[in-house]
Amino acid sequence: MCRVLVASRSGYYRWLGRDKQPTGRQQQRELLDQLVAVAFAASKKRSGSPMLVLDLKAQGHHFDRKTVAASMKRQQLRAKAAKKFKATTNSKHNLPVAPNLLQQDFSVTAPNQKWVSDITYLWTDEGWLYLAVVIDLYSRMVIGWAIAARMTADLPCQALKMALWRRKMPKGVIVHSDRGSQYCSAQYQAVLTRHSLICSMSAKGNCYDNACAESFFHTMKVEVIHGERFAAREEMRQTVFEYIEVDYNRTRRHSANGCISPEAFEKQQAA
């Protein structure tokens, strides 16, 4: 065949071996795909290409977003998709309501200036669980949280007490929430007064006034709740604990912090 085609045997065998030996470009693509797959798995399938670019950069690998996005598409890797967020506020009551001191101004210059709090519901096969959180707007860190099978006034009180303990009992903090009955209750207001905290509440029917707290719940539900089945309340409690204390506070990148985690942001600012 080589004689008929006037080709050298050595040239023919080099051509024959090309399919068996990947080119340099193919090798680079395979390495990229491996790095992206590992980073995606490390994020527990939560990160899209923009966050994966940052994760890879922290490991010393520099790729642009389009390159990482193309690798994800090749490997059919998709970050968990968002679903609609539902509010749980019960503002139909005759309890006193505090003024809106925050006025959608979420900017702060130091810890313990403004905290936000909210409550959401979580379904298990054993019934509902309710989660209350307190978030410091300085770093978006969840500094207090409580979970229970009943949505009573004690729920946000326990979350607030955890926040006070973690932050070493600061005074004069603006604590913002919606105007739900739990936050307007005498029990919750007594905790605020006893610790010299300043109460602020959203305007009626305006979810944007407490957007940071609602955004946290939306993110948590997208990343660990939606699409999963929780047979027992204890399983849900463990999932919430791991997400808040291990993933969200310590490792999850937040755009408000320059795309680093709340804990890393606070350490960076304190250095």
Residues in the chain: 271
Contacts with 232 (C-beta within 8 Å, 6 or more apart), sequence order = 124, 125, 126
pLDDT at 212 over 90: yes
pLDDT at 179 over 70: yes
With a pLDDT cut of 70, the percent of the chain lying above it is: 92
Residue 201: strand pairing partners = 177
pLDDT at 13 over 80: no
Instruction: Give mean pLDDT, residues 177-195.
Output: 96
pLDDT at 88 over 60: no
pLDDT at 14 over 80: no
Task: Specify the higher pLDDT residue, 106 or 271.
Answer: 106
pLDDT at 58 over 90: no
- pLDDT bucket at 87, cuts 50 / 70 / 90: very low
Instruction: Give mean pLDDT, residues 166-180.
Output: 97
pLDDT at 213 over 50: yes
Instruction: Give mean pLDDT, residues 231-241.
Output: 97
Top-ranked range on mean pLDDT: pick from 5-14, 42-51, 180-189: 180-189
- pLDDT bucket at 93, cuts 50 / 70 / 90: low
Reported for 241-249, long-range contacts at CB under 8 A and 24+ positions apart, including other chains, are 244/133, 244/142, 244/145, 244/220, 247/44, 247/223, 248/142, 248/216, 248/219, 248/220, 249/141, 249/142
Instruction: Give mean pLDDT, residues 241-259.
Output: 94
Determine phi and psi for 117, rounding to 5 degrees: -140, 150
**What value does the CA radius of gyration of the chain take, rounded to a whole number of Å?**
25
pLDDT for the residue 65: 83
Statement: the pTM of the whole predicted model exceeds 0.85? no
Instruction: Give mean pLDDT, residues 203-232.
Output: 90
Name the residue among 41, 104, 51, 36 with its Cα closest to residue 219: 51
pLDDT for the residue 8: 84
pLDDT at 19 over 70: no
